A and B are shown apart, each in its own frame.
Chain A
Amino acid sequence: MSLSSRHLLGLYGVPKEDIQLILDTATTFREVLERPIKKVPTLQGKTIVNLFYESSTRTRISFELAQKRLSADTINFSTSTSSTKKGETFKDTVRNIEAMKVDMIVVRHQSAGVPTYLTKISKANIINAGDGLHEHPTQGLLDIYSIKEKLGKLDGLKVCIVGDVSHSRVALSNIFGLKTMGAKVSVCGPSTMIPFGIESLGVKVYNKINQAIAEHDVLNVLRIQLERNAGERIPSLREYHNYFGITTERIEKNNRDVLILHPGPINRGVELSSEVADGPYQVILDQVTNGVAIRMAVLYLLGTMH
């Protein structure tokens, strides 16, 4: 079994079999992570570059750890300045890195479409670790994996993505991936944070948080991205929390069976109350562990393709 593409650019258009294969492979690696020696020799001799044009802690660490556990050689290239400011074009940077003979590139960039562009200028396997507000496929996959792990299925499940959907690449990857796997996906948030025409993707829109909690099996709660000017779309964080924040009280009043996911980092007291963030309904730290397994699976499947 192998994937149908040699890159992972997004979950849009990725066939069900591919997603299933990644999830199944991740289960194997999830088991590896519980061993005393958490390392396998699968990608020995492969060189992977983590090309991060946007600051990231957890995604980069998660990828790096996944690479190390697969015994690959890894190099980190991080810069927060855009290529334009730096004087060297993005293309030249990539060509230089490629000249050092690398097999795979994991890329994060503030501009949507950069991973796609990379496939045109590089021969390496490209993995998107988040491009602008476009996609963040490994996050989508680890969310899907975590839901499946807890609830045992995906088909027919009702999943609601809550919060700043307009500023979220996590939302798009979740929508595309979950729908492919047979889940029903909706979004809930202030109408200023719901992107144009999302309904035509078959996604229902909620504006009332209590109703969203009551009618779904899973809430994937997004971070309010103040660093992306989310503040322009809501009057204040206080008002956001009062109308859309997830609290224990709201959960217990509407749906005690709901499962809470959050991609992190959490703004405590904004999208989640601290009580919820640490409480019994969430699987936030399991998501982080699963993230390593998912990334190992993706790296392994792409790195061993012929």
Chain B
Amino acid sequence: MKIILKNARVINPIQKLDSKLDLLIEDGVIQKIGEISEKVVKDSQIFDFENKICVPGLFDMHVHLREPGREDEETIDTGSNSAAAGGFTGVACMPNTSPDIDSAEIVKFIKEKSKKNLVDVFPVAAATLNRKGEALSPIAELYEAGAIAFSDDGSVIKNAGILRRVLEYSKMFDVPVIEHCEDETLSDGAMNEGLVSTILGMPSIPNVAEDLIVARDILMAEFTDARIHIAHISTKGAVELIRQAKKRGVKVTAEVTPHHFTLTDDSLKLFDTNYKMSPPLRTTSDIQAILEGLKDGTIDCIASDHAPHAIEEKEMEFVFAPNGIVGLETTLGISISELVHKKILTLNQLIEKLSINPRKILNLPIPEIKEGSEVNLTIIDTDLIWTVDVTKLKSKSKNSPFDKRLLTGKSISVINKRQMYFEDNYIRI
């Protein structure tokens, strides 16, 4: 089937491309770029994307798909639908499933199960067996089966000696170790430690719980000359530590979630468990530092940390409720509203953080928009004003603090692997 995308502003920072072009796509390959007349190309389906932008497919390097184990909360299929609706053509899924992704069989199961879907799913495998932080997982075997990074996400690798071996071993494959930075001896709480936690009498987690591990991990990456990726940073201290480390040439990269650059611990006053996450929401001064870090490149990318939870588990006493929120379908809208429209980042910079950099970190090929390339695109309307409605999310879970929030900017369509997601439907192309 032939399709023509007309009148979109096509942007790809790695090709230094930014112009209004038409694209002819046939059998999943970009056949022609430029001005294309539907009169010349017969039997084609036309999509007019006037005033929309067309970019390399977005990539979310931090999602929890819950399969295997908690298919009541999310599956590979529903998570992929959520990703497609949110504008992503690829995701990296975290290993804290049940069982954990710490065997080649599970890596292959995920690859196999996601094969037919538009959205590419790349498993991040456990760095240690059962994510217990005691012994190395079979990293070589996992890598060969298709794991693209290693992490005990959900938990930190507590033991510095084990972390050293994980870094040294994964260095053989030039893959990053993704760390959930939290000193567990300091993180026995339900929210950020600050004035708000004092007023609410809530057990709390100080910034230094994150800063300590970020500092340790940077030193360890420097010592082993291996690659460390800091997941979901939340503190100004972490931003500064990473900035300094990058200046010294340490192989450290970092991501931030939309909630950590948008919301503060002040929201906890409502005791709504949709504001409970790990790391916790911090303060305005942390957000300020994170925005600076996004601007100057200290923070490489934006990831959702999409963490679906069953309603009955979130609708619980605050201290007992699980951490995390869904984010695949709100990440782009929040990022455009809070970063591009508020002039923190340019559109080009945002595309780098949502498409180019995560793939660079994970050694994945970056989609090119040129004749002969396989199509992998996201079409965005940066001016579309819409209201988040959790009941309409494609994700199986509805735990979002952004329900009813007004956003400007939304994905209109994604195209990958001979499939196009448009107006809530998949179209074979």
Q: Given A132-B202, A133-B203: A113 and B197 within 8 A (CB)? A: no
- Whether a CB of chain B sits under 8 angstroms from the CB of A114 is yes
B318 x A201 contact (CB < 8 A): no
Contact B195 A89 (CB under 8 A): no
B-contacting residues, A110-147, CB 8 Å? 110-114, 116-117, 131-135
Roughly how many angstroms separate A61 CA and B320 CA in the complex, as a whole number?
A: 27
- Cβ–Cβ < 8 Å partners of B270 in chain A: 116
**Contact between B201 and A134 (Cβ–Cβ < 8 Å)?**
yes
A contact residues around B312 at 8 Å (CB): 89, 91
Least CB separation from A114: chain B residue? B317
Asked if residues B320 and A196 are in contact (CB atoms below 8 Å), the reply is no
* Docked CA distance A134–B199 (Å): 7
Contact of A135 among B193, B201, B315, B318 (CB under 8 A): B201
Q: For residue A133, which residue of chain B has the nearest CB?
A: B201
Q: How far is the CB of B314 from chain A (nearest CB, A)?
A: 11
Tell whether B297 is near chain A: CB-to-CB under 8 Å. Answer: no
Q: Does A96 contact B (CB under 8 A)?
A: no
- Judge whether A90 is part of the interface by a CB distance below 8 angstroms: yes
Any chain A CB within 8 A of the CB of B138? no
Beyond A82-B320, A133-B203, is A116–B271 a contact (Cβ under 8 Å)? Answer: yes
- Whether A113 and B320, one on each chain, are in contact in the complex, defined by CB atoms closer than 8 angstroms, is no
CB-based contact A172/B316 at 8 Å: no
A131 CA to B318 CA in the complex, in Å? Answer: 11
A134 surroundings in chain B (CB, below 8 A):
200-202
Whether A109 contacts B317 in the complex (CB less than 8 A), given A89-B312, A196-B193, comes out as yes
Give the one of A12, A116, A196 with max B CB within 10 A. Answer: A196
Q: How far is the CB of A178 from chain B (nearest CB, A)?
A: 15
Confirm or deny: B385 has a beta carbon within 8 angstroms of a beta carbon on chain A. no
**A133 and B251 alpha carbons, distance in the complex (Å):** 42
Q: Taking CB as reference atom, which chain A residue is nearest B192? A: A196
The 8 Å CB contact of B317, one of A117, A195, A196, is A117
A56 proximal to B (CB < 8 A): no
CB-nearest residue of chain B to A172? B201
Q: Are B201 and A83 in contact (CB under 8 A)?
A: no
Verify A89–B199 contact, CB threshold 8 A: no
Do B316 and A83 touch across chains, with their CB atoms under 8 A apart?
yes
Q: Mark A226-265, 1 if CB is under 8 A from B, else 0.
A: 0000000000000000000000000000000000000000
B229 to A: closest C-beta gap in Å: 30
Q: Report Cα–Cα, A132/B189, bound state, in Å.
A: 12
Cα–Cα, bound, A131→B320 (Å): 13
Binary interface encoding of chain B residues 300-338 relative to chain A, with 1 for a CB under 8 A from any of its CBs, else 0: 000000000000100111111000000000000000000
Which residue of A has the minimal Cβ distance to B271?
Answer: A113
CA separation between A198 and B198, bound complex, in Å? 7
Instruction: Give every chain A residue within 8 A of B206 (Cβ-Cβ).
Output: 196
Is A110 a contact partner of B195 (Cβ separation < 8 A)?
Answer: no
User: Are A111 and B198 in contact, with the CB atoms below 8 A?
Assistant: no
Q: A196 is contacted by which of B194, B271, B318, B319 (Cβ under 8 Å)? A: B194
What separation, in Å, do the CA atoms of A90 and B318 have in the docked complex?
11
User: Contacts A134-B200, A172-B201, A196-B204: A112 and B320 contacting too (C-beta < 8 A)?
Assistant: no
Chain B residues closer than 8 Å to A90, beta-carbon distance: 316-317
In the assembled complex, A84 has its CB within 8 A of some CB on chain B? yes
CA–CA, A131 and B201, complex, Å: 9
Tell me the residues in window 129-179 of chain A with beta carbons closer than 8 Å to chain B beta carbons. Answer: 131-135, 169, 172
Cα of A197 to Cα of B194 in the assembled complex, Å? 7
| Known contacts A135-B201, A196-B194, A196-B197; 12 further A-B pairs (Cβ under 8 A) | A82-B317, A83-B317, A84-B320, A89-B312, A89-B315, A89-B316, A111-B317, A112-B271, A113-B271, A116-B270, A133-B203, A201-B198
27 A-B contacts (beta carbon < 8 Å):
A83-B320, A89-B312, A90-B317, A91-B312, A111-B317, A112-B200, A112-B271, A113-B318, A114-B317, A114-B318, A116-B270, A117-B271, A117-B317, A131-B201, A133-B202, A133-B203, A134-B201, A134-B202, A172-B201, A195-B197, A195-B198, A196-B194, A196-B204, A197-B198, A198-B198, A201-B195, A201-B198
A-binding residues in B (CB < 8 A) = 193-195, 197-204, 206, 270-271, 312, 315-320
Chain A interfacial positions (CB closer than 8 Å to B):
12, 82-84, 89-91, 109-114, 116-117, 131-135, 169, 172, 195-198, 200-201
Q: What 4 pairs between A and B have smallest CB-CB spacing?
A: A113-B271, A134-B201, A133-B201, A111-B317
